Copies of this chain bind each other. A is one copy, B any other.
Amino acid sequence: MRGHQAKLDISNGCIDLSHGSGGRAMAQLISGLFHEAFGNEWLARGNDQSAFDVGGGRMVMTTDGYVVSPLFFPGGNIGTLAVHGTVNDIAMAGARPLYLSAGFIIEEGFRLSHLKMIAECMGEAARSAGVHIITGDTKVVERGKADGLFISTAGVGVVPVGLDLSAENARVGDRVLISGTLGDHGIAIMSKRQNLAFETDIISDSAALHDLVAKMVEAGGHGIRLMRDPTRGGLAATLNEIARQSDLGFRLQEEAIPVKPDVAAACELLGLDPLHVANEGKLVAIVSPEVANAVLAAMRAHPLGCDAAEIGEAIADDHHFVQMATSFGGGRIVDWLSGEQLPRIC
């Protein structure tokens, strides 16, 4: 802004309404904070959109809003989550993530130092995932009309030729693979909520899964029917959705489902089922029985899949139930979460 503006006071400054009003303060915030954090040739051109070349073929697009509270949590923050989550939704199509957009809705009073930290983490997460944040938007709302910061990211990626992963593709007999332990993210978040606060070393599993996916596609090819990241609603919601969309059921083996002991303990404490708790760096893959072992081996060879496991299979079921043989020896179903996830007394 060519010196016609006091510098952003990152250490003590706060967002106020002028940072969202289309004036000089907003331009300064965007160029002085976001462009610096995300720095790339597309943003530098300063257009309301960014252009890129594509080779043709099949692309995917996705979006997610991030409203996590607290904004900073063990293992990440809203910014890393906003990159990983959207990269993962692209990767779940077997696609290579290319470009992200990022929209910020900021409550007035938000500390610039926090915003900078979050933006820098996003930039770093994007760089390590090999994606570029090429376009964005900033809105500021009055105090009491947001919760500090919301981020929306959208992303596009390119699908390898011939691959078509989709929720209706599961077939009876397919195997259910999970890339690692369940519930780490949700429990890490809950441990920092004031009304629940408990002490734990659990950290969020937030991670970009595109490289793991690439290795799985390499190993399993067309034997991979679909992949999905079990985020909100956990594994239970993901499998119930797929069951409905593919018109079948699942039978899981509880013993095979990896859950860290401290996550299990925190779930007991709060009366929650780890199958309902959110993950941000895990995927479920439904694969044909023929490639199950090869895909599982590829997963276990990857740092983000070392705890991968085969946990069940698709069965014919007109009612789309996700059944589970309990580790105790009985049977049950794994249902959707009913309503919100609330700690229970009974």
Contact = CB atoms under 8 A, between A and B. Distances in A.
Contacts of A47: 92-93, 166-167, 228
Given A22-B278, A23-B336, A26-B233, A139 B63 contact: no
B105 A49 contact: no
B62 A49 contact: yes
A341 to B, nearest CB: 6
Interface residues of A, number: 84
Contacts of A145: 67, 146-147
A338 interface: yes
Nearest to A159: B51
A5 to B, nearest CB: 10
A58 B63 contact: no
A245 interface: yes
B60 A232 contact: no
Contacts of A146: 145-147, 150
Nearest to A147: B145
Interface string A215-244: 000000000000011011110010001001
Contacts of A152: 63, 65, 103, 105, 137, 152, 154
Contacts of A245: 45-46
A297 interface: no
Interface string A59-79: 111111111000000000000
A156 to B, nearest CB: 6
Number of copies: 2
A103 B139 contact: no
A23 B154 contact: no
A67 to B, nearest CB: 5
B340 A23 contact: yes
B92 A49 contact: yes
Contact of A92 (B48, B62, B150, B278): B48
Given A18-B339, A49-B62, A63-B135, 8 more contacts: A21-B233, A22-B234, A46-B167, A48-B89, A48-B92, A52-B58, A61-B156, A67-B141
9 contacts: A21-B232, A25-B339, A46-B245, A55-B56, A56-B56, A59-B156, A63-B135, A105-B152, A137-B152
Chain A to chain B: the 4 pairs with minimum beta-carbon distance, closest first? A22-B233, A56-B56, A22-B232, A154-B154
